[in-house]
Chain A
Amino acid sequence: MVGEHSVMPVTVPRLDKAELPTLERFREVNATFPKTAEVLAHKRQGGKVFGWLCTYVPEEIIHAAGALPVRITGYSQETELEDGNAYLYINNCSFSRSCLQMGLRGEYDFLDGVVAGSTCDGARRLFDLWHYYIKTPFHHVLTVPRKYTEKAHALYYQQVVQFKQHLEEFLGIQITDDELRHSIEVYNESRALLRSLYELRKQDTPPITGAETMEVLDASFRMPKELFNQWLNDLLDELEAQDRAHKARARLMVVGSVMNNPEFIRSIEAQGGLVVTDELCTSTRYWSDPVVLDGDKSPLEAISRRYLNNFPCARMVPSDGRFGRILELARDYRVDGVVSQIIRYCVTYAHDLPLLRDKLKAQGIPMLALDVEYGTSGSGQIQTRVQAFLEMLEARKKG
């Protein structure tokens, strides 16, 4: 019998053919994360590495301080979380439990600091327990308002300034505006390159699958941005040189909470649904908006504005901001259906689900709601639902 709670076997990314050698390099980064060759090299040269916990942490500041920012994520597949459960209890999302367990087991022992935002209950408690039980040398949490008002921007800016000062104190350095401007450039380039990659997915037969895209995205926050940009450029060249075309039974968009396991998307795509875009905090929500440097705004102000205004997480009020952008993506990428994947106990997203379902329905876009555990590669039950959903979408198309 296919057990719902069965632990999936280790699934490694398929080794691709020589056609996309760069994808292979991204996979290598993901396979060795957190202790990737790049992270270890950076440490060997005496560099500092800071882990960040949420997309509301301004990465550019860490980068401008000459340190390497990496995103803290959990195990790449569904895993027994004994330690995570013992400390965070079983009702915090499996993402936070998975991250904490990796931390407790020393997988992140190379970190010089951990930076979080007050973004959701899971993230803030993960940070609290990290502080008490893992004791990384530097800890910082930013108050992140839930609104977009000018006052909220002012408060968040003050928080960003404080974070910068705290970091400067810890490292004994000064972060200059020029350094910040340079970091913004590097990060904006990365965002622009990812946008080019996503543009390819708008085609009728995209050259890259959703699972492959997820592999690129995973690597994007696990390695130096400069190197990532170089590789992504290479990958875009390779994609252009190749004649790849993925046909789809249905064009899908994946929405919802955090996800890092490309196998989950691969299991959807193995059934013929092609994931052409997504709204996940590990994908579009992470990279989509650039920092806009204009006129008299200081680089720090520009960063602060971008991070609070970025493609919103479900935590922000009003939710219409998030819904509007989902509908926009659905239209731009011509999706036939939306797959919502919400990690159990990710209640911010769970609360939005009934409202989002109605909004999509009004646009004639069906939604399949899946509740999953972080790291899942898709159980038998999930596969049945995905298959039925694809059959339903096909039947609709045929009218």
Chain B
Amino acid sequence: MIVAGIDIGSRASKAVVMDDGTIISSVICDTGPESVKTSQMTMAKALEGTGLSLDDVQYVVATGYGRVLVPFASENISEISCHARGITWYFPSVRTILDMGGQDCKAINCDGDGRVINFIMNDKCAGGTGRFLEMIAEVLNIPLAEIGDAALNSSQPIPFNTICAVFAKSEAIGYLRRGVSKNDILAGLNEAIATRCLNLLKRVSIEKDFTITGGIAKNKGMVAKLREKVGLEPLLCEDPQIVGALGAALFARDRCRGIGTKDESRIHYGYSDGTGNYFITIDTGQCDGCGRCVPVCPSGIFEVAAGGDGQPKARVKDEARKKLALLCPGFYACNRCLEANCQRVCPKDAISHTW
């Protein structure tokens, strides 16, 4: 039984392919500007050399901020659930997870089966995320992969007043100009970020065992600081960056074994960007495949095809998915100009737009 999990993060995309109980492949790629393309590329790379094709994969679960944009995924599950699920593969004893990702930071409590008990996400600011460290690495002109070791070589960390991404950057530039060593600047920032993470962790509960996942867990300087702040030795898995994708793959395996149900019968097509979410949602639980939406769409984006259960269901055509923004004017505009449109003609109320 071949299953896969794919995690489209804000900075990196990860995929894990499993054959029953074994990971047969895992990859990490950069997330490009187009999530759909990124997901296809990441998956292709994960299948490379395995002798498998996408058709051989029975079930794909997508996660990460781009999870709704993976065209070949059977289901999507939030990264919070996936990290909790994924970590149990390595360490069933973990109860507290700090996931430090590209654009946010999460503290999660879970049980021995990888079920989430409580979670909290940092909000409102990029300070202390992967993106933030990238920015600082750029300012200091040190390769991202080396900033962890550099911080460890600090003799006297510089105290940072703020980890607001904007202020910290100017503060760092200021120190650099004054000739403060890069190592000390990095160590100071790590200290500030670790304090913030500790506050996040305290808002769930800090229980043994403790682990750090996400890209930042590869940064030794940060891990050392967190160990000191939290007062617990973090269990670190081989590749903390793929934990989300691994969790997704484990959920996929569960589904194939008939564990858990895929209650989510709504399928989303579309994309999101800085201006908002642009999704068309088809509720396949409601859709009876009547096909009335097909002729009314001015751009002809719909078709009716056999769904997962073999029943006819409406869906957005493959070729239309990638350029939905160009093809669909959105319900608001469409409804102003046209008497009939997909949403109005659907007798089951199964189609909706977010814009």
Which residues of A are in contact with B by a Cβ distance under 8 Å?
Answer: 1-4, 6-12, 14-17, 249, 267, 270-272, 366, 371, 377, 379-381, 383-385, 387-388, 391-392, 394-396, 398
Asked if B123 and A272 sit within 8 Å, CB to CB, the answer is: no
Which residues of B are in contact with A by a Cβ distance under 8 Å?
Answer: 10, 65, 77-81, 103-104, 115-119, 121, 123-124, 260, 263-264, 266, 272-278, 281, 330-332, 335, 343-344, 347, 349, 352-355
Residue from B116, B273, B331 within 8 A of A12 (CB atoms): B331
Min CB distance B50 to A, Å, is: 29
Closest chain A residue, CB of each to CB of B68? A383
Min CB distance B329 to A, Å, is: 12
| A218 to B79 CA separation, bound complex (whole angstroms) | 35
Asked if A2 and B277 sit within 8 Å, CB to CB, the answer is: yes
Asked if B80 and A388 sit within 8 Å, CB to CB, the answer is: yes
Asked if A1 and B335 sit within 8 Å, CB to CB, the answer is: no
Min CB distance B87 to A, Å, is: 15
| A380 to B279 CA separation, bound complex (whole angstroms) | 12
Asked if B263 and A1 sit within 8 Å, CB to CB, the answer is: no
| A267 to B355 CA separation, bound complex (whole angstroms) | 12
Q: A270 with B281: in contact, given A2-B65, A384-B80, A392-B115 (CB under 8 Å)?
A: yes
In the complex, what residues of A have CB within 8 A of residue B263's CB? 249, 272, 394
| A150 to B276 CA separation, bound complex (whole angstroms) | 51
Residue from A6, A9, A270 within 8 A of B355 (CB atoms): A9
Closest chain A residue, CB of each to CB of B348? A17
Min CB distance A97 to B, Å, is: 17
Min CB distance A194 to B, Å, is: 24
| A366 to B109 CA separation, bound complex (whole angstroms) | 13
Asked if B276 and A388 sit within 8 Å, CB to CB, the answer is: no
Asked if B266 and A270 sit within 8 Å, CB to CB, the answer is: yes
Q: A272 with B264: in contact, given A14-B343, A371-B123, A380-B65 (CB under 8 Å)?
A: yes
Asked if A4 and B77 sit within 8 Å, CB to CB, the answer is: no
Min CB distance B52 to A, Å, is: 28
Asked if A10 and B352 sit within 8 Å, CB to CB, the answer is: no
Asked if A395 and B343 sit within 8 Å, CB to CB, the answer is: no
Min CB distance B347 to A, Å, is: 7
Asked if B119 and A16 sit within 8 Å, CB to CB, the answer is: no
Min CB distance A255 to B, Å, is: 18
Known: A8-B276, A391-B77. 6 other contacts (CB 8 A): A8-B277, A9-B276, A271-B264, A371-B123, A381-B123, A385-B121
Q: List 14 contacting pairs A-B, 8 Å CB cutoff, sorted by A.
A: A1-B65, A1-B103, A2-B65, A2-B273, A4-B123, A7-B276, A11-B332, A11-B354, A14-B353, A15-B344, A16-B349, A270-B266, A388-B81, A394-B263
Min CB distance B62 to A, Å, is: 12
Asked if A381 and B104 sit within 8 Å, CB to CB, the answer is: yes
| A98 to B266 CA separation, bound complex (whole angstroms) | 33
Min CB distance A339 to B, Å, is: 14
Closest chain B residue, CB of each to CB of A249? B263
Q: A388 with B274: in contact, given A14-B331, A15-B335 (CB under 8 Å)?
A: no
| A216 to B39 CA separation, bound complex (whole angstroms) | 41
Closest chain A residue, CB of each to CB of B115? A395
| A371 to B123 CA separation, bound complex (whole angstroms) | 9
Asked if A1 and B278 sit within 8 Å, CB to CB, the answer is: no
Min CB distance A179 to B, Å, is: 43
In the complex, what residues of B have CB within 8 A of residue A12's CB? 331-332, 335
In the complex, what residues of A have CB within 8 A of residue B343's CB? 14-15
In the complex, what residues of A have CB within 8 A of residue B347's CB? 17
In the complex, what residues of A have CB within 8 A of residue B352's CB? 14, 270
Closest chain A residue, CB of each to CB of B355? A9
Q: A391 with B78: in contact, given A2-B65, A17-B349 (CB under 8 Å)?
A: yes
Asked if B354 and A7 sit within 8 Å, CB to CB, the answer is: no
Residue from A9, A371, A392, A394 within 8 A of B354 (CB atoms): A9
| A385 to B108 CA separation, bound complex (whole angstroms) | 12
Q: A387 with B78: in contact, given A3-B274, A371-B123 (CB under 8 Å)?
A: yes
Closest chain A residue, CB of each to CB of B64? A384
In the complex, what residues of B have CB within 8 A of residue A380's CB? 65, 272, 277
Q: A366 with B118: in contact, given A4-B123, A14-B343 (CB under 8 Å)?
A: yes
